[in-house]
Amino acid sequence: MKQVMDPLQQQRYFSQELLDWYVVIKRDLPWRRHSNPYFIWISEIMLQQTRVDTVIPYFNRFIEKFPTVEALADAPEDEVLKCWEGLGYYSRARNLQYAARQIRDQYGGIMPSGKEEVASLKGVGPYTAGAIRSIAFNVPAPAVDGNVMRVLSRYFLIEEDIMKTGTRKLMEELVLQLIPEGRASDFNQGLMELGALVCTPKSPKCLTCPVMVHCRGRIEGMEDKLPVKAKAKPPRQEYRLTAIIEGSGVESGKVLIRKRPSTGLLAGMWELPHISEVPPDGDAARHVMLPDAAAAKKLAEELGRERLPVVPGEHVMAAEHTFSHIHWNMRVYTCSWSPAVPAMAAESAAAYDASPSIPEAGSSPGPLYQWITADDMERYAFPNVFLRILNAYFANI
C-alpha cells in the first residue's frame, strides 16, 4: 500500500474521510440543534478562546434570556455582561450587543450572510465570519481556527509558525480547496471536531484518526512537534492593594463597589476599589512588600485622593489572579467609611475634577459606585477574582 499520494489525491482522500467520520461521531451540542444563524453567531463568539464544555451552560442561559437579535439589541448592557460573568474576555459581550444593534439597524434584524456584511459586525474577524457563513448558511468559506491549523499543519506537514498572519491565510487557501461541493458546514465543523477530539495538542490519538494513513505529520513522526508555535510571553507581575470598604449608618453591613471604565481590562465590570502597591515609577522587580499596617494606611490614603473618605482596617486575605498577560498579587484590607475624614488633600482636588460622582453618607452613591449586600451581588457583573474575594468576605461576616 502506497502511503504518500500526490497532493490532489491526498486532499480528496482527506475531505471524504473527514466528512464520513464527522457525520457519524459529531457531538450533540446545543447550537447544533438549531439552524438559527443567530444561535450559531452567539456560539461562535462564546467559543473564541474558550472550551466547549465551558460555553455550553453560558450558551443555554444566553439564548433563553436573549432569544433574538432584537432582544439582545434592546437589553441593558449590564444584563448582557451579567450573563457573561465568569466567561472572560468581556469585550466579546459588549461587541456582541453592539453587533446586534448593527444587525437591527442596518440589516432589518436579519443575520446577513454576505462576506462584507458579516465581516463588518463588531467582534467578527476572519475566523468567525467564515464560521458563521459556512455553518449557518453552508457557504464555502474557510473557518480557520487553532484546531484547523493544528490538523492541517500535521496532515500536510506545514512547518510555518501558526502565530503568523500569513500562515492563517495559507491555511484559508488550502481549506477553500478542500471543502467538498455543498458540504461547507459539515466539513468545517468536522475539521474542528477532529482537532478537538482526535488531533489534540498533546498526545494526538492517531490510532483512531480517520485520515491517519495519509497524514504526513504522523508518517514522518512529527505529530508531536506540530504545529510550530512561538512561545507566549509570561504575564507581568502587578501588586494590588484591595479595599473592602464597610459602610456605616444607613449603609451599615454593606460594601462599596465601583464600575470599571468602558475600555481596557475587564471593561464595564464591577470590582472592589484597589490601588497599585508599587509607586507609578517604582521598580516592580525590586518591589518590597509593605507590612500590613503600612499597606492598609497607604490604601486608605490613596482612596482618599479618589475622594473616598475611609480609615484603614485589617488585613482580610491574600488573593492571586492570572489574566492572559497580567498576574495580580493582591492583598485585601477592610476600610471603614468615615465621611468625617477629609476626602482629599486640597492640592489633589484638581487632579480629580473628572472623577465620577462620589458617594456621600446618607445620599445615593454615584452611578459608578454602589453599596451592596451579599444578595445584591446577583445584580452586578464581577470578574472572577472579585467574586472570590466578595464571597469569602460575606461568608465570614
Partner DNA sequence: CATCCGTGGGG
Partner DNA sequence: TCCCCAAGGAT
In the complex, which residues of this chain contact DNA (CB under 7 A)? 29, 43-44, 47-54, 86-91, 95, 122-129, 131, 145-147, 150, 164-166, 189, 192-193, 195-196, 201-203, 229, 231-233, 264-267, 321-326, 383-385
Query: Nearest distance from residue 97's CB to DNA, in Å?
Result: 13
What is the smallest separation between the CB atom of 244 and DNA, expressed in angstroms? Answer: 18
Residue 227, preceding bond cis, omega within 30 degrees?
yes
Q: What angle do CA 57, 62, 66 make, to 5 degrees?
A: 160
Please report where in the chains the cell 444561535 appears, as a residue. 39
Nearer to DNA by Cβ, of 105 and 360: the residue is 105
CA 138 to chain centre: 27
- Shortest Å, Cβ 48 to DNA: 4
Rounded Cα distance, 367 and 258, in Å: 9
Nearer to DNA, 196 or 290 (CB): 196
Asked about 44 being catalytic, the answer comes back as yes
From residue 27, alpha-carbon distances to 40, 46, 190, 237 in Å are 15, 17, 10, 40
Q: Which residues pair with 370 in a beta bridge?
A: 257
| 43 versus 242: smaller Cβ distance to DNA | 43
Q: In terms of CB distance, is 14 or 382 closer to DNA?
A: 382
Provide the 3-class DSSP secondary structure of residue 330. strand
What's phi and psi for 331, nearest 5 deg?
A: -120, 130
Q: Is 329 helix (H, G, I), strand (E, B) or coil?
A: strand
CA distances to 80, 157, 187, 211, 212 from 17, rounded to whole Å, are 41, 18, 10, 6, 10
Backbone angles phi, psi at 311, to 5 degrees: -115, 145
Of these residues, 17, 44, 64, 246, which one is catalytic? 44
- Contact in structure between 98 and 89 (CB atoms under 8 Å): no
The cell for 350 is 484638581
Tell the smallest beta-carbon distance from residue 33 to DNA (Å). 12
Least Å distance, CB 105 to DNA, is: 17
Bridge partner list, 371 = 256
Closer of 62 and 90 to DNA (Cβ): 90
CB of residue 225 vs DNA: minimum separation in angstroms? 11
Choose between 146 and 366: whose C-beta lies nearer to DNA: 146
Q: Which positions are annotated as active-site residues? A: 44
